[in-house]
Structure 1
Amino acid sequence: MSRAPHLRRLAPLAVAASLCLVASACGSDSSSGSGGGDGSVAAVIKGLDNPFFQQMEAGIDAGAQDGDLEVDVQAAADITDTTGQLDKLNVVAGQDPGCVIVNPIDGTNLVQGLAGLAAKDVPIVNIDSPVDADAASQADATPATYIGTDNTEAGRMAGEHMLTLLPEGGEVALIGGIAGDVTSNARLDGFTEAAGDGVSIVQTVSANWSRDEALTQATTLLRANPELAGFFVANDDMALGVARAVSDVGRTGEVEIISVDGVEDGLNGVADGGISAVVAQYPYAIGEMGVNACRAAMAGEDLPEEVTAPIALVTADNVQDALDAAPAPFEEYDDPFAALVD
């Protein structure tokens, strides 16, 4: 049957309570209960050494509380722990979950484990980083739904804003994550498409999602390009390294820096003027929507094939609103899965 869009926005107090619960669980592999049984949800996500995935876990926890579900959250050791993450998936698969949420490190590292779940008709909800469609199809393990950021659109939003900051044009450098990474490439491509001929892109480099590497790369770029007017950076952590490099040469406020993520440190960078703007994506909302998708799947509802998570441009004008609501979105957004089960 047709349902009206379901708009979500969590009060900061509720968000804070959820984060407190998650913080108490970060020392172990389990977030909310031990899992097991047809009514349980298991989640296998990337490493909790990154604040982005800490916020994702907080959203999963909030969704579990809202739906009165048991959730077992397992996290990889770090962004390179592909084999360890598969081992985590195999552990939760053995607990007979009613639904599994996966946030794979790469497109194929979890496919073997997903095939076993699919063979038992366990719904699979894919969040944030997509499972490779061809590999999943060959394994007969296509997820029931995918929930994630439109990274190309996030890059476009950043490119459009850079044009407003540099109306007369100027030289801009791009700093991506890991070379060849799909997410990073989509953000860089979106920026390049939107910026068009309005700026001159002098160089694109990779900094492996590392603040320290971004500091080094930006320092080199600034020395080689003394007229550099802006940076687009594929995540906030690297942008903070870029901001340090810009500060070190005494050009804070002269060189525009725009990044993607919206983690608290990035928002604080906007608030203190080191970063010009961030395109905020919301791992908290992605995690919560993932749990709601599992609730709907376990209730027998048909899930949409793909759902785009919210993004928002955060500048000095609205950064306090973003900080007050963090880690939840500060603007309303549509959660079609909550509409299926409410």
Structure 2
Amino acid sequence: MSSKDARWTHLMRVTVPIGALALVLAGCATGGDGGGGTTEAPSSDKVAAVIKGLDNPFFQAMEDGINDTAEQDGVDVTVQAAADIGDTTGQADKLTALAGQDFGCYIVNPISGTNLVQALSQISSAGKAIVNIDSPIDPDAAETANLDIATYIGTDNGAAGGKAGDFVVEQVPASSEVAIIGGIAGDVTSAARIDGFKEAVGDTLTVVQESAADWKRELALTAATDIIAANPNVKAFFAANDDMGLGIVKAIENAGLTGQIVVVSVDGNQDALESVEAGGLTATVAQYPYAIGSLGVQACEVVAGGETLPENIESPTALVTNDVAADAIAAFPQPFEEFENPLTDLLAE
């Protein structure tokens, strides 16, 4: 681990880089028993993590956060990833294979709200801790399966979409036509970001078309090309992730309209930050997958120490525009602002 990564993990224990956005300990139950982590330490302090596909740089950074924090803190962690962002069955199979092994805490980042529920039922029944990160497990499915989820750690996706919407409203004239490209149809995360965006733009702007591109750049390129052809007056796009945002940027470039259409996405991956600096993407609402992964490991440490976790831990976001893109790139994968680690006091006990 580099000295930079070690310094980051140390900061995560005290004050994690991200500012006025202090993490909120919300009270939104996700588990079948009404939420809140168990106070009884598991029989094993080994940690298993099952995350989404490493074909997406967002989840590469998340894996780095998990591994770096585990190394720094002396946690025995095993990380498994789906083959790609659509590999729901393969991801579930990986978790099933880990479920019967000697792990006391499981960090899970499900591809869909339900694809890991069956395997998690076995884990929960065995009294092992479940830390849900990034993409929430469907609460109805969790209740039906009687899952005891120790905590959820992730972005307020509605607020992230809202930040994008507020920015777009400032960038284009009132009544302008805008388009939306979301992830997998029916995905909870995508829906929350889109809903937040729509709520922010309200009646100020007109959403002329909404498409799904399965989180993939090439599908977003095709969708945006069709939208631009059908709606020549479109002034802005919102994409539910950076990969799709970069596909939209390419479609705009192909149409000879670079600089004439605003494009805002969500994630804050390095290639997106570089695109913002270069004038491709207009902005990205940066999440910090490294921080999410790191907090996931620390949550397992809290459980291993017999402490109770808050039901919900909000990870930070920040709007990155051209004027701060260089700062965001220099700090990547760490946040370039500051926020306080909500687990500091629990880790110290």
Q: With structure 1 as the length reference, what TM-score do the two structures score?
A: 0.88
Hey, what does 1:20 align to over in structure 2?
A: none
Hey, what does 2:187 align to over in structure 1?
A: 181
Does structure 1 conserve the Cα–Cα contact (< 8 Å) formed by 2:152 and 2:312? yes
Secondary structure in 2 matching 1:39:
coil
1:261-276 superposed matches below 5 A: 261-276=267-282
Alignment counterpart, residue 84 of structure 2, candidates 78, 96, 99: 78
Secondary structure in 2 matching 1:124:
strand
Hey, what does 1:105 align to over in structure 2?
A: 111
Secondary structure in 1 matching 2:115:
coil
Hey, what does 1:144 align to over in structure 2?
A: 150
Hey, what does 2:231 align to over in structure 1?
A: 225
Secondary structure in 2 matching 1:260:
strand
Matched, 1:134 2:140: yes
- Cα distance in 1 for partners of 2:290, 2:163 equals 21
List gaps (5 residues or longer) in structure 2. Answer: 1-12, 19-41
1:118 partner amino acid: S
Matched, 1:41 2:47: yes
- Cα distance in 1 for partners of 2:301, 2:310 equals 14
- Cα displacement string for residues 172-204 of structure 1 (whole angstroms, at most 9, x for unaligned residues): 111111122111111111111101122121111
Does structure 1 conserve the Cα–Cα contact (< 8 Å) formed by 2:113 and 2:188? no
Q: Taking every aligned residue pair, what percent have the same amino acid on both sides?
A: 54
1:150-189 superposed matches below 5 A: 150-189=156-195
Hey, what does 1:191 align to over in structure 2?
A: 197
- Cα distance in 2 for partners of 1:224, 1:107 equals 33
RMSD of equivalent CA atoms: 1.7
Matched, 1:250 2:256: yes
- Cα distance in 1 for partners of 2:91, 2:160 equals 27
Secondary structure in 2 matching 1:79:
coil
1:340 partner amino acid: L
- Cα distance in 2 for partners of 1:135, 1:175 equals 27
Matched, 1:9 2:17: yes
- Cα distance in 1 for partners of 2:140, 2:230 equals 42
Q: With structure 2 as the length reference, what TM-score do the two structures score?
A: 0.86
Hey, what does 2:324 align to over in structure 1?
A: 318
- Cα distance in 2 for partners of 1:295, 1:122 equals 13
Deviation at 1:337, TM superposition (A): 2.0
2:337 partner amino acid: E
Deviation at 1:328, TM superposition (A): 1.5
Hey, what does 1:290 align to over in structure 2?
A: 296
